[in-house]
């Protein structure tokens, strides 16, 4: 489906308070919040599909960062427009407050909601309610949401079709092994100082973000990579990419982009181009 930096033809400009090629799907007419037993989420559908009974749609479940919200994620126009232009629904769950601030309970031993069950419940509920294709859902996230993506993918790799963390990996000590191979599209800003590539200490030394490259080594092991070196190395403008295709049905792409702790405007196109690529494990 075009090149890695392909922009979907005819992408419309964003309109104030709305997304030009998308439709907000409201579970509650006042708040727009979809409630399930384990929490809540928000959703945007491609324009014209809010009441569709035809073919099921693929979707991206996108997890907000520390202190964010699902509704806040959907205000990122480049993210949402980029995905809905390709015909994807965008599902944005809400984390629960931890010490007064919304964030995900991803680190082993933390008390809180069973996030893996919650996110599986969100995916199942949205698929049934809005006619989405459950087996074509990608779990993505930014910052704390990206850490959550990595931990869920490691523990329950078959929960989603693919995983796309932005600016997040594992914390120390990182898992010794993951349950199985995955399709992983990991991206990170070269100048990120909030989640540096090498990691950093938090909470006065009580916690330590892990090294992104060490996390990639763990993923290569989970994907059965015998050779650590990537099969492909690409430079496109200021963006660097490495790829590993070590096992059938699994592959890893790692993208370094210029800038800091942010979601690149082009991310949606990068990710969908990768996700829809043929024969991901044919390397």
Summarised one tens digit per residue, pLDDT across range 228-239 is 999 999 999 999
In a domain, 12, yes or no: no
What average pLDDT score do residues 101-123 get?
Answer: 96
Average pLDDT over residues 142-148: 98
Other beta carbons less than 10 A from residue 243's beta carbon = 19
Measured in Å, how far apart are the chain's first and last C-alpha atoms?
19
Tokens coding 181: 């191979």
245 forms beta bridges with: none
| 280 within some domain | no
Q: pLDDT tens-digit profile of 254-281?
A: 999 999 999 999 999 999 999 998 654 4
Number of domains in the chain: 1
The residue behind tokens 């809005």 is 130
Domain assignment of residue 31, yes or no: yes
CATH number at residue 183: 3.40.50.1820
- Domain hosting 234: range is 22-275
The C-alpha atoms of residue 33 and residue 42 are separated, in whole angstroms, by 5
The answer to the question of residue 4 being in a domain is no
Question: Rounded to two decimals, what is the model's pTM?
Answer: 0.88
Tell me the pLDDT band of 49, cut-offs 50, 70 and 90: low
224: tokens are: 């059965």
5 in a structural domain: no
Cα separation, 226 vs 139, in Å, equals 26
* Structure tokens that stand for 171 in this block: 């914390």
124-144 mean pLDDT:
97
Kindly tell me if the per-residue pLDDT of 51 is higher than 90: no
- Going by the DSSP 8-state scheme, the letter that residue 110 receives in this structure is -
Lookup: tokens for 232: 């492909």
Q: What is the pLDDT of residue 7?
A: 27
Q: What is the pLDDT of residues 157-201, one digit of tens each?
A: 999 999 999 999 999 999 999 999 999 999 999 999 999 999 999
Domain annotation covers residue 199: yes
Contact status, residue 275 vs residue 4, Cβ threshold 8 Å? no
- Rounded distance between C-alpha atoms, residue 17 and residue 215, angstroms: 38
In a domain, 165, yes or no: yes
15: in domain: no
Residue 98's pLDDT band (cuts 50, 70, 90): confident
Taking the CA atoms of 121, 144, 89 and 42 in sequence, report the sign of the dihedral they define. Answer: positive
- DSSP secondary structure string, 89-108? EEEEE-PEEETTEEE---ST
Q: What is the pLDDT of residue 33?
A: 92
Report the pLDDT averaged over residues 197-215: 96
Two tokens, residue 203: 């909470």
Lowest mean pLDDT among 13-17, 55-59, 64-68, 209-213: 13-17
**pLDDT of 9 higher than 80:** no
What average pLDDT does the chain have? 88
Q: For residue 216, what is the DSSP state? A: H
């Amino acid at each position: 489906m075009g090149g890695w930096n392909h922009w979907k033809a005819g992408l419309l400009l964003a309109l104030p308070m709305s997304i030009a090629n998308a439709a907000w799907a409201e579970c509650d007419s006042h708040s727009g919040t979809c409630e399930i037993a384990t929490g809540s989420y928000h959703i945007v559908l491609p324009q014209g599909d809010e009441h569709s009974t035809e073919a099921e749609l693929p979707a991206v479940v996108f997890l907000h960062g520390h202190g964010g919200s699902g509704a806040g994620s959907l205000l990122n126009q480049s993210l949402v427009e980029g995905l809905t232009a390709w015909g994807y629904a965008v599902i944005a769950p809400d984390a629960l407050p931890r010490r007064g601030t919304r964030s995900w309970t991803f680190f082993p031993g933390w008390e809180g909601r069973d996030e893996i069950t919650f996110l599986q419940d969100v995916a199942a509920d949205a698929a049934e309610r809005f006619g989405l294709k459950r087996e074509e859902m990608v779990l993505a996230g930014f910052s704390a949401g990206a850490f959550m993506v990595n931990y869920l993918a490691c523990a329950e790799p078959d929960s989603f079709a693919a995983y796309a963390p932005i600016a997040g990996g594992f914390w120390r000590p990182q898992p010794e092994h993951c349950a199985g191979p995955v399709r992983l599209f990991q991206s990170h800003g070269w100048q990120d100082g909030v989640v540096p590539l090498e990691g950093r200490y938090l909470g006065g030394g009580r916690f330590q973000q892990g090294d992104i490259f060490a996390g990639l080594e763990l993923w290569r092991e989970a994907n059965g990579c015998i050779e650590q070196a990537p099969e492909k190395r690409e430079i496109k403008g200021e963006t660097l990419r490495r790829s590993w295709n070590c096992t059938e049905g699994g592959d890893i792409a790692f993208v370094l982009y210029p800038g800091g702790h942010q979601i690149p405007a082009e991310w949606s196109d990068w990710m969908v181009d990768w996700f829809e690529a043929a024969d991901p494990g044919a390397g």
